[in-house]
Amino acid sequence: MIFNFARKSAPGSTASLFDLEEGRTAILGDFDLPEHLADQLMNLGFVPGLEVKVTRSGPGGDPRIYRVDGTEVALRRELAERMRVSQPPASSGVALECGDRMATPVETRRYAGPEGISALTPKLEEAGD
């Protein structure tokens, strides 16, 4: 299992970045956050559609450190809880574990266009949890 649903209220709800277990990888979805915060996060590398991995956690599990777009960024639970993630496509598998191959031809396929991105973005039926 990739997602720890035990922490979330109802099974089947969209998983948040905070639900992702340490060492696991997922694809970033949309953020349930004010625009300027979402912008700040995107400037740090959290761009929806990109791969994110939980690398480590601070004492007590908060804040945690995420590897995204070639850098590691520490985020508190309050933010990670409001960022949706989805399971990575099976094809990319372990090969893209660290998200370090940003500019290879594999990446171009990912950046093929907005359709490519939205296909990776989870639906937002449960917005506003």
Partner 1 sequence: MGVIANASCHAPKAGVREGVARTVAVVGPPNSGKTTLFNRLTGLRQKVGNFPGVTVEHHLGVVRDEHGREVALVDLPGVYSLNPKSEDERVTIDVLTGRMPSMTQPDAIVLVVDSTNLNRHLVLAARVIALGLPTLVVLNMADELRKQGGHIEPLELARHLGTPVALVSATTGEGIEAVTRFMGADVARPNPLDLPVLQDTRGCREWAAKIGVNASYRKPATPVWTERLDSLFLHKVLGPVIFAAVVVMVFQTIFAVGQPLSEMFQELLDFTGNRVAAWLPSGLLESLIINGLWNGVGSVLVFLPQILLLFLVIGVLEDSGYLARAAVIADRTMARVGLNGKCFIPLLSAYACAVPAIMATRTIENKRDRIATIMIAPFMTCSARLPVYTMFIAAFLPNKALLGPFLGTRAAAMLGLYALGFVVAVVTARVLKSSVLKSKDAPFMMEMPPYRWPTLRSLGLRLVDRGKAFLVRAGTVILAVSVILWVLTNFPMHNGQPPEIQDSLVAKMGHLIEPAIAPLGFDWKIGVGLVSSMAAREVIIATLGTLYGIDAESNDIDLQAALRQDMTPAAALALVVFFAFAMQCMSTIAVVRRETNSWKWPALQFAYMTGLAYAAALVVNQALG
Q: Which residues bind partner 1 (CB under 8 A)?
A: 34, 36-37, 39-45, 47-50, 55-56, 58-60, 62-63, 65, 69-76, 78-79, 98, 100-105, 107-108, 110-111, 113-114, 117
Q: What sign for the dihedral angle of Cα 1, 110, 66, 56?
A: positive
DSSP state of 52: E
Give whichever of 5 and 50 is closer to partner 1, judged by the CB atom: 50
CA distance linking residue 63 with residue 58, whole number of Å = 5
Give whichever of 7 and 76 is closer to partner 1, judged by the CB atom: 76
Using an 8 Å Cβ cutoff, are 35 and 46 in contact?
no
Which amino acid type is present at position 29?
G
CA distance linking residue 50 with residue 116, whole number of Å = 11
Least CB distance to partner 1 at residue 56 (A)? 5
Give whichever of 72 and 129 is closer to partner 1, judged by the CB atom: 72
Give whichever of 3 and 66 is closer to partner 1, judged by the CB atom: 66
